[in-house]
Structure formats: C-alpha cells, structure tokens
Structure 1
Amino acid sequence: MDLLRAADSGRLSIVKDLVSKDRSLIRSCRHSDAKNRSFNIDGTAIHYACRSGHSNVVKYLIKQDPSIINDLDCEAWTPLHYACYNGHFDIVKFLLESNADVTLRDNYLFQTPIQFAMYRQFEDIVYLLDPNAEWTRRSPDEITTKGKASIFRKNSNLFLGRYSLNEDHIKQIQLFRNDPQYNDIELRKIQDNELSNLNIRLVLTHDFKKHISQTISLTSDVDDDSFLRSSSTSTNEHIMVFKDE
C-alpha cells in the first residue's frame, strides 16, 4: 500500500512506517494516473486524509511537515478545501488552528473553502470559518433534484465505482437515492479495488448531522481501526466505509 492509499484509509501505522523511511514522500508521493479518478492528479496524502476524515493522519502529517498546510493538487484544492467539501468539522478546526489559508481559491470554480461548505450546506463549518457569514441556503427540493452525483459507473473508480458492487448492492443504493426519506442502508462483503481488494462494508445515510456525529466519534488517535473513510457524494448522500471484519 502506498502513502496515498494508507492516508485515504486511515492506516496511520503504514503512514508512519513509510514516512520514517522517506520523509520526502509527504510531498513527492502524488497521484499521477489520470484514468483513476478516485484521486485528483497531484493529490498528496494530506489531501486524502482530509477528504476521508482521518484526523489522526492529518495531525501526524502536519507535525512532520507544517509546510504542507496549503498544498495544492491539480485543481488547486487545499487540504482545507477537501475537509470543507466533505464536512469534516474537526479537521477544519485543526487546519484553522494550524494557520491554513482560508482565502485560497480552486482553479476550476474559483471558490474558497467556505464557499465549498456553503454549497454543501455544512452550516457548522461555515460559521466556524466566518461567524457572521450570510449566505443563501438551497431548498430541500433543489438539493434533492440537483445535488446528486452519478456514482454508478461500473468501469470507473469514481466514488462508488472503486468498489465491486453486485446487482443487489446497486439496486439497494438506487432505492436509497430515489427517496430522500429512505432509511440508512448497510452493504457488506464488498471489495475495495483501491486497497488490494480489501473486504469492506458501506453505510449510506441521508442524515448529514448523524453522519458527521458518527464520523467524529469513530475518528481516533489509534494507528489503525476498522473505520476507513467518510465522505459525501452529494448534499443528500453520505457514506461511511469500514473494514468488513
């Protein structure tokens, strides 16, 4: 497992081992396979730990090299952009305490991290970044009709495409996605193609506050645990990934 995937899945013991052997990997290990869209080109370990919600890895990497706090991938996303986009309040707070630049804009939509949080309706993060923020919230109907991302791309590694989903998995996810009031679903015995076909289980919910609360409660300072990643494919759809033990 390379440094990117170790950071993405919260394998702090592997991150420590790799960095101890070559500290330059923190900056030099960058995603370069344009066909693999599960990572952004030029993304580094700090980006993907921030995306997946692993504060233990984020804190370790920043301690090893504080200069990566505003590192950019090919779309000029900083670690703070990733944390804001995926709603990881505790990581956003840590990055702010570590002097992350809140004014940097990406090079596609020219947005700052707080604008990412506003678009995703992550109110706690918005007001953490700016207690006096004024912004227009999207209506539930708009979120439902316009906030979805196409994730059923069986031959790609984009979002859920990185997992080996069978027809029953896809059917359950489609039912979940078609109804914003649908109960949480849990899918088991799925292979993660990015992590050497590791068996995982997926938990999907529409309830963002519940999702974030669970993410924070599961993120710890232990080197490795069953929690692999937490992310959102839309404002209305949130995913947690665990090792299926």
Structure 2
Amino acid sequence: METDQTSECHESDDGNKNNSSRNGNIFTNNCNLEDTTALEDETEVEETLNSQNKDDGSKIEGDKDGETSSKHSSLKDDMNAYILRASEKGRYDIVEKLLERDPKLLNATDADNYTPLHRSVYSGHVEIVKLLLSKNAKVDASTIDGWQPLHCACHWSQIDIAFLLLQNGADINAQTNGGLTPLHLAAATSCKSILEMLLMNRYLNWNLKNAANENPCQVSKCSSKNFYLFEITEDRINLLK
C-alpha cells in the first residue's frame, strides 16, 4: 500500500526495491526465488542456458510423470531471476546474453511486477536501459503499486534515464495507485535538474493531485528548496497567455 509522496514503492521507504542496492544485498529482492543461488558471473548463466537447451530437447520424449514440466518451470524461474538481478547489478553482458537466448525475458517480472527496466532505471544503469529500450521494453510497465519506470527515475533523480524514457514514449503524467506523477516525486527531491526538465515539457500537467489531494507544487513547497522553480514556470506560462 502507498503511503506518501516520498515513500510509495512497494515494500520500500525510498522508491528502491527493498533498498537492496543501498545495503549491498543485491540478490535478496523478493522474486519468489529466494533459494536461487546468487548470480556471480557468466559461467552460472551459461550453465543454466545449457540446461535449458537440454530440457527443450527432452520434451520430444513426452512428459510422463511431470518431471520435465517441473524442471522446465524451474529453469524459467532461474532465467527470470538472472535477468532481473543482472539488470539491477549493472551486468550488461549478462543481460545481453540472456535476451539473445530468450527475448521474452525482456518482460520478466518479480513478485511485485518490477521488470528489468524498472531495476536498471532505479539503479542508474544507463547502458542497460538503452539496451532494454532498443528491444522495445515496455515503458509503461507498472508494479503492483502502479509505479512505471519513469516514476523510479524521477524519485531517484536519474535525469539522463528519465530523458531517455520520455524520448521512448513514457507518459509524463502517469499516476500511480496513490495518484503520484513523476513530477510529484521529482518535486519531493533536492534535484533541481530533473525538476527543470519535467517543468519544461510541453505535455506536462502540473495540476494533477495525489491521494492526499496535493499537486506537485504543494509537495515541493513542503519538502524541497526548489519550490521557486514552480513560481518561475507559472510566471512564464502567464506571460504566454
């Protein structure tokens, strides 16, 4: 459940999935795969890929007792976990290898519906974000709390990534389950540049309100030193009327 404009991400107080990338425990995110061995290097991935190939071949024999089906499901779970973790950890080589082998992994999700794009966005891995977008990753993919990748980028002040997402069709006015827009999240931070970028966007609706009936300007006034940017923008808009 969402709380306020600065603590909405599911199971996290700071917009990051369980705050894992901040405490060094990269591989303890809730993926329904807690018993899976942590991804260390390409060798482990290669072994899993080889196992997947053998499993695919065994299906020709039929599945008499369910073992093949169970094994295939387990391998699929492993692959999903690998790309999610590699995206968060910044392992471009592994993400690329996994997508080459199975393009469907592009839209893999964990228990909270975070995708590889979400994870690479909030961790700040620009090159992986570019790779995923080049493969047509869904920029409007939503977590169970309604967070799209752009929300994560704005909450974590990832301005270069936010710009990339907007270039690739992200909705600047998308609202989470709690009514938060990317601007609400940026307004609550101390990052001037990302707030300026959003305020200059011609498609921005800065009057949308969150569940607390607050617009981004009100959020900024209460929690940020950058409130003056809203006043400057409003003055410019009035001059154009």
What's the TM-score, normalizing by structure 1? Answer: 0.50
Residues 161-188 of structure 1: CA deviation (Å, up to 9, x unaligned):
xxxxxxxxxxxxxxxxxxxxxxxxxxxx
Amino acid of the structure 2 residue aligned with 1:80: L
Shift of residue 63 of structure 1? 0.4
CA RMSD of aligned residues (A): 2.0
- Secondary structure (helix, strand or coil) at the match of 1:69 reads coil
2:109 matched residue in structure 1 = 30
| Residues 150-169 of structure 1 aligned to structure 2 (within 5 Å) | none
Runs ≥4 in structure 1, deviation > 6 angstroms? none
1:88 matched residue in structure 2 = 158
Within 2, Cα distance between the matches of 1:52 and 1:114?
19
Shift of residue 84 of structure 1? 0.4
In the alignment, structure 1 segments of 5+ residues that lack a partner are 33-40, 144-245
- Secondary structure (helix, strand or coil) at the match of 2:217 reads coil
Shift of residue 94 of structure 1? 1.0
1:122 matched residue in structure 2 = 191
Within 2, Cα distance between the matches of 1:103 and 1:15?
30
- Point out the structure with the larger strand share: 1
Shift of residue 120 of structure 1? 1.7
Within 2, Cα distance between the matches of 1:97 and 1:111?
21
The question of 1:14 aligning with 2:94 is answered yes
Within 2, Cα distance between the matches of 1:96 and 1:127?
14
Within 1, Cα distance between the matches of 2:168 and 2:159?
14
Within 2, Cα distance between the matches of 1:112 and 1:89?
15
1:61 matched residue in structure 2 = 132
From 157, 173, 176, the equivalent of 1:106 is: 176
Within 2, Cα distance between the matches of 1:113 and 1:135?
12
Amino acid of the structure 2 residue aligned with 1:101: D
- Secondary structure (helix, strand or coil) at the match of 1:24 reads helix
The question of 1:97 aligning with 2:167 is answered yes
Within 1, Cα distance between the matches of 2:142 and 2:191?
22
1:3 matched residue in structure 2 = 83
The question of 1:76 aligning with 2:146 is answered yes
Within 2, Cα distance between the matches of 1:65 and 1:94?
13
1:35 matched residue in structure 2 = none
Structure with max Cα Rg: 2
Within 2, Cα distance between the matches of 1:42 and 1:96?
21
In the alignment, structure 2 segments of 5+ residues that lack a partner are 1-38, 40-81, 207-215, 225-241
Shift of residue 123 of structure 1? 2.1
Amino acid of the structure 2 residue aligned with 1:97: Q
Shift of residue 89 of structure 1? 0.8
| Residues 150-189 of structure 1 aligned to structure 2 (within 5 Å) | none
Within 1, Cα distance between the matches of 2:123 and 2:110?
16
- Structure 1 stretch displaced more, 42-51 or 94-103: 94-103
Shift of residue 9 of structure 1? 1.0
2:56 matched residue in structure 1 = none
Amino acid of the structure 2 residue aligned with 1:26: L
Within 2, Cα distance between the matches of 1:131 and 1:56?
25
Paired residues, what number? 130
- Secondary structure (helix, strand or coil) at the match of 1:120 reads coil
Shift of residue 138 of structure 1? 5.2
What's the TM-score, normalizing by structure 2? Answer: 0.50
Within 1, Cα distance between the matches of 2:132 and 2:186?
23
